[in-house]
Structure 1
Amino acid sequence: MTEPTQRFDGKSSARSTLDRRTLNLHETYICPICRHGQIAELTLMDAFACNFCRHIFTANLREQSIHVEDSSQPMTWRWNGRNWQAANQLDFDLTLVIWIVGVILVVLPPSLIFLSSRLVPPLEGSTLDWLPNVWVGLTFLTHFSFVAWLMVEHYQLPIYVSSKVRIRQWLDRR
């Protein structure tokens, strides 16, 4: 990380500003995916690797950008001199389709089970008359968990990535 520097000029007193630095292969930067590790140069390559989440990035020094290579998602970040900014814009049509499919997967199965349990209800006073309500709830929770996991995998949220790495490290120690 860069340290604040003092700049002196004849008209004003000391001002602290953060140094802007260009992207180069000989420095370390915070990882744009997990935001916990540091990315550093891979020996004999024009690439970076994170020491925490182990992602590999190729560097484009002319455009001041990096691209993750070991992920199915095409993610690119630009270095603005102080931090990373996402360079790839998500395709709005694809994002809308993913959200619509996710809502359908969460709402439709429990709705079908609820509708069938209301059209053909269990006998009053039977020992399993509670089962349709529990089945609807379990179906909703299961489908919601599945879709939430897929969304977090798709968007690669930093807290999810860092949690996944920490769990893997904890399991490796055991």
Structure 2
Amino acid sequence: MQTQKAQKIDLSVDYPCPCHRRGNLTPIALTEAFGCNRCQRIFVVQESGYVIEELSTNYPYKKAWRWTGNQWSTAHSGLGRAYLPLTLIIIFGVVFLLLVTTLQSPLSSSMTFRAIAALVLSAMLVLMLWLACRR
């Protein structure tokens, strides 16, 4: 799917609401903000006029959108996209090292057995975490 380039948000134009498709965002006088006539949410213009962000929300990470000319697209930060894979890699490494140092082979103290067992158990744990986070 081809992504469209974000356009600068004009403070004098009405836009559709990114949360409710039937609502319209109208500019709030003397501010750099928009209000939805349907859901009563307030959106503030950020990042040099290319992004709107929901102002008051209980959600810990504020939602943001970019205007592509005919629709809103979700604006993601670069760190947010890499957060889950980075966390899973760190967990995998820590669990692998802990298991290599604590596992004992039933036959002997073979390092190969310990490494393979730690690798399998670490991979299973990371897979379970990834599946849980995907939901």
TM value normalised by structure 1:
0.39
Larger radius of gyration: 1
TM value normalised by structure 2:
0.49
